[in-house]
Amino acid sequence: MSEPDAAPEIPEGETRCGFVALVGAPNAGKSTLLNALVGAKVSIVSHKVQTTRALVRGLVISGGAQIVFVDTPGIFAPKRRLDRAMVTTAWGGAGDADLVGLLIDVRKGLDDDNLAILDKLANSGRRKVLILNKIDQVRRDALLAIAQEAAARAAFERVFMVSALTGDGVKDLVAYFADEMPASPWLYPADDISDLPLRALAAEITREKLFARLHDELPYASTVETEKWETRADGSVRVEQTIYVERESQKRIVIGKGGQTVKEISMHARKEISEIAETTVHLFLFVKVRENWADDPERYREMGLEFPRG
């Protein structure tokens, strides 16, 4: 994806580039923060937990450095196979990074999930910073108490307080990461904002609209795949996507009365996909039942997840 007016130049002389993994409990606000850092939508946001499945990379250029942010799935105590795959992927993302940013939702504070993540991170030997998020929601003295308790459990290089939603504190975070990146050539073209192909981003957008419209009526196991992306002679694209659900009853919910629900989802998704594709998009959505897909290795590969055996 390119932004023709805003393509930054690769600086002369020494360049810096590195990876920053954002980890945290489900719903801590990792996707919202990634989008705020990048200044564009690269990861889907939802009030429903576990919407980020695989690793999403957002690219930010600041102070001569290219920062590759990795948005990981939320970390929690996994039970099902899909859950285990997501948690393994999240820790895998952290393992490869130059710096790990642990996001904590300050409304939750140091609950059991966050304590478990803190302890695991403390023993990981990775360089890390603490990012207290959603500061628009709590009083300052509560923030300091969380920061102190977290710092007593793990050696953070810095503590940041941000609101991913309002953008408060995000600039300082970018400036810090830019300074900390190691000397390296830039790994991606200067005008890219994500390494996800358009087809995958488009599927994520539709999945976001699906959750936004259906709230808690759908399990998070429903998934969207872009099956076709065809450029027409007039420059517009025809995009065909399939929404996969696990049961016939869920299919009826997604379609809605007279097809009303899927039409609304399609309208909202089409608008955003047109924006990222920078052209007119004709979007066709299909809804299919795919039973037990959560046990099918092929689906994991498509989502960029390892299939956990056993």
Ligand X SMILES: Nc1nc2c(ncn2[C@@H]2O[C@H](COP(=O)(O)OP(=O)(O)OP(=O)(O)O)[C@@H](O)[C@H]2O)c(=O)[nH]1
Q: Site for ligand X (CB under 6 A): which residue of 18, 19, 32, 93?
A: 32
- Residue (32 or 186) nearer to ligand X, CB: 32
Residue placing its CB nearer to ligand X in the complex, 16 or 213? 213
Please tell me the number of Cα atoms within 13 Å of 50 on its side-chain side: 19
Which residues make Cβ contacts (< 8 Å) with residue 301, sequence separation at least 6?
Answer: 307
Which CB sits closer to ligand X, 17 or 162? 162
Q: How far is the CB of 220 from ligand X (least distance, A)?
A: 8
Is 45 among the residues that bind ligand X (CB under 6 A)?
Answer: yes
- Contact status: 27 vs ligand X (CB under 6 A): yes
**Token pair for residue 55?**
């690793």
Tell me the window of 27-35, 227-235, 280-288, 289-297 that interacts with ligand X (CB under 6 A): 27-35
Residue 105 marked in a binding site: no
Q: Whose Cβ is closer to ligand X: residue 186's or residue 208's? A: 208
Segment contacting ligand X by CB under 6 A, of 23-31, 115-123, 205-213, 252-260: 23-31
Beta bridge mates, 100:
21, 128
Compute the distance between CA of residue 257 and CA of residue 259 in angstroms, rounded to an integer: 5
31 binds ligand X (CB under 6 A): yes
Q: 147-154, long-range: CB within 8 Å, 24+ apart, which pairs?
A: 149/110, 150/102, 150/104, 150/110, 150/118, 153/115, 153/118, 153/119, 153/122, 154/102, 154/118, 154/119, 154/121, 154/122, 154/128, 154/130
Tokens 């590195």 label which residue?
A: 18
User: Does 74 sit near ligand X (CB under 6 A)?
Assistant: yes
Q: Which of 133, 206, 242, 266 binds ligand X (CB under 6 A)?
A: 133
The yes or no reply on residue 163 touching ligand X (CB under 6 A) is yes
Taking Cα atoms as reference points, which of 120, 97, 93, 57 lies closest to residue 180? 97
Q: Rule CB under 6 A: say whether 279 interacts with ligand X.
A: no
DSSP per residue, 217-252: GS-TT-EEEEEEEEE-TTS-EEEEEEEEESSHHHHH
Q: Is 137 in the site for ligand X (CB under 6 A)?
A: yes
- Cβ closest to ligand X, residue 163 vs residue 222: 163
User: How many residues in the shown chain lie near ligand X by CB under 6 A?
Assistant: 24
Does 11 show up as a binding residue in the annotation?
A: no
Other residues' Cβ atoms within 10 Å of the Cβ of residue 228: 12
**Which residue in the set 16, 30, 57, 270 belongs to the binding site for ligand X (CB under 6 A)?**
30
Q: Which is nearer to ligand X, 65 or 131 (CB)?
A: 131
For residue 41, which of 207, 177, 184, 241 has the smallest C-alpha distance? 207
CB 191 within 8 A of CB 8: yes
Least spacing, CB of residue 182 vs ligand X, in Å: 26
Would you state the torsion angle of the CA atoms of residues 117, 119, 121, 126, taken in this order, to the nearest 10 degrees?
Answer: 170
3-class secondary structure, 264 = helix
Instruction: Give the interface segment with ligand X, choosing from 10-18, 42-50, 203-211, 284-292 (CB under 6 A).
Output: 42-50
Q: Under the criterion CB under 6 A, does residue 164 sit at the interface with ligand X?
A: yes
Q: Name the site residues for ligand X (rule: CB under 6 A).
A: 24, 26-32, 45-47, 49-52, 73-74, 133-134, 136-137, 163-165
Q: Would you list which residues are annotated within the binding site for GTP? A: 24-31, 71-75, 133-136
